[in-house]
Chain A
Amino acid sequence: DAKTTQPNSMESNEEEPVHLPCNHSTISGTDYIHWYRQLPSQGPEYVIHGLTSNVNNRMASLAIAEDRKSSTLILHRATLRDAAVYYCIRPYNFNKFYFGSGTKLNVKP
């Protein structure tokens, strides 16, 4: 049980921003929210993580709702290389990750 909910797929145009939503309504107060992405036949790649405040790094931004029941991964300018399956994960039971089906992002040129 992944305990997160994401749309199955999303589509974006190249060089436009992308907002990938995730619901994690049962998250506890001390659980971080992690985002990864995976290309075919590769291991998941770390994107970003956060606890309460919004977070930025060179890959993306993470906006976390004030009640922490949802978050949004923001890719500021999508490129073709950003096409992947994006997973939103909250740790469970001693920091285990249970992957849901993620969001498959398609980027159109």
Chain B
Amino acid sequence: GAVVSQHPSWVICKSGTSVKIECRSLDFQATTMFWYRQFPKQSLMLMATSNEGSKATYEQGVEKDKFLINHASLTLSTLTVTSAHPEDSSFYICSAVLAGGADTQYFGPGTRLTVL
């Protein structure tokens, strides 16, 4: 149980284009999902909190107009990287919260974004 998927697993795009990444909780409903990114040889960095039916909240320093987050249902959150540039190349990982008690987060497998 508690499986989270991401699509696509990797994507290569040209500079200036937009890329959408999907995060799905497959066997549970998640009112809260989180988005992280991870640069090579670094730890995960929290980008934003995605709450179903409301606007996402972004961590300090993360541009909300560049990283658009939509949490349209209890099983799906999307991250759109708008006008991507090479410095946005990173490993993007989502997590979904299994509600109740510890509020454990379950992570997706990640999406490797390469911007040329």
Q: Contact residues of A with B, CB < 8 Å? A: 32, 34, 36, 38, 41-46, 49, 51, 87, 91, 94-102
Contact = CB atoms under 8 A, between A and B. Distances in A.
A90 B48 CA distance: 17
A102 B32 CA distance: 24
Contacts, number: 58
B107 interface: yes
B105 A41 contact: no
Nearest to A51: B102
- Using C-beta atoms within 8 Å of the partner chain, give the interface range for chain B: 20 to 34
B108 A43 contact: yes
A49 B107 contact: no
Contacts of B44: 38, 44, 97, 99
Nearest to B10: A41
Interface string B102-116: 111111111010000
A101 B43 CA distance: 6
A25 B71 CA distance: 35
